[in-house]
Amino acid sequence: MKLFTLIALLTMSTGLFAQKDPNVFLPESIRASASFGMTEKEFLASHSADNYTFRDENFRHTYSEVVKNDPNIEMVTYYFDQDGDKKMYEVILVYKNESARNRYTTEVFGKPNSGKGDWLISHKKRPDVKAWNFKNNLMIVLVIPECEWAN
């Protein structure tokens, strides 16, 4: 029994349980209304057109909105692929400052494990998750087939 408890604690502490659902990498304030894999149609049904800015970039649609329910995040941009089911595959979080972003990434992702300060979370049964920082931004990508990050 002690060995099982130890294995369970180690697994939870290393984030292996979190790998099962890519949405655990999104802050709760974002998860309340958006999730990886949701369709563009589902997003539009749950968001007021008065609250976001839309851009058509041919291969993707983007929706940006001010975040009002999180003291650390100013804005979020959602990317929807324009192939197939038009699913959400990327989220860009604009933090108020780099220290708030760093606290979040350390808590959720731990130490970078790929490239220069990047994260790659692989899973056998679902698409990989890639994440990286740029200035005060955090980019989180679900690598779905046919999206720009799939190659």
Compute and round to an integer the Cα radius of gyration of the chain.
16
Task: Kindly report the backbone phi and psi dihedral angles of residue 103, in degrees, each rounded to the nearest multiple of 5, phi listed first.
Answer: -60, -45
Q: Which of 147 and 99 is assigned the larger pLDDT?
A: 99
DSSP string across the chain: -HHHHHHHHHHHHTTTGGGG-GGGGS-HHHHTT--TT-BHHHHHHHS-TTSEEEEE-SSEEEEEEE--S-TTEEEEEEEEESSTT-BEEEEEEEESSHHHHHHHHHHHT-S--BTTTBEEE--SSS--EEEEEETTEEEEEE--TTSTT--
Q: Is 0.75 surpassed by the pTM of this model?
A: yes
Quick check: 53 pLDDT over 70?
yes
Question: What band does 20 get if pLDDT is binned at 50, 70 and 90?
Answer: low
Quick check: 8 pLDDT over 60?
no
Quick check: 61 pLDDT over 90?
yes
Q: pLDDT tens digit string along 64-119?
A: 999 999 999 999 999 999 888 899 999 999 999 999 999 999 999 999 998 778 99
How far apart (Å, rounded) are the C-alpha atoms in residues 104 and 143?
A: 21
Domain boundaries, the chain: 2-142
Mean pLDDT within 12-33: 75
Quick check: 139 pLDDT over 90?
yes
pLDDT of 18:
45
